[in-house]
Structure 1
């Protein structure tokens, strides 16, 4: 799967600011397909974790209450331009993924 999270990370004065734009439908399991009338199964991100140098700098436990294509932003002390952040995610379906992004 292509990276589903667009990461924008910048360091300034020792503080790294990170913005995550997630491409995900975040289905809550309560909608029905208008053409078939069948229920659309729940499929949402349950967890997102961001690591820097092997240590967690951000973690979010999500649920069906989060909108489609969520936007998350946070900052942390430290970070060096050119170094990598690792973003891990887990869906309620058990599917998971990981990607890396460089700090600008």
Structure 2
């Protein structure tokens, strides 16, 4: 059975910096690209949600140093 990704959200320290709603006619393997500015050390959290209750979350720590 199909399980299409319907929603993608990226949060930086809990604040949403990017979000997209995807539909079945977009692509079999969509490529998503976006930009944000890291102003402080924190966590990026990526969440995908799909049909039939599918959900996946990945986190990445981001360290901002002096330039």
Bucket of the pairwise TM-score, normalised by the shorter protein: 0.7 to 0.9
Q: Is the radius of gyration larger for structure 1 or structure 2?
A: 1
Instruction: Find the counterpart in structure 1 of residue 56 from structure 2.
Output: 97
**TM-score, reference length from structure 2:** 0.75
Higher RCO (CA < 8 A, seq sep 6+): 2
1:59 aligns with 2:19: yes
Paired residues in the alignment total: 63
Query: Displacement, 1:65?
Result: 1.1
Change (3 A) 1:98 1:61: same
Instruction: Find the counterpart in structure 1 of residue 9 from structure 2.
Output: 49
Query: Displacement, 1:59?
Result: 0.4
RMSD: 2.0
Query: Displacement, 1:47?
Result: 0.4
Instruction: Find the counterpart in structure 2 of residue 37 from structure 1.
Output: none
Q: In structure 2, list runs of 5 or more residues that go unmatched.
A: none
SS in 1 for 2:2: coil
Alignment partner of 1:84 out of 5, 23, 43: 43
**TM-score, reference length from structure 1:** 0.52
Distance 1:81 1:72 in 2: 24
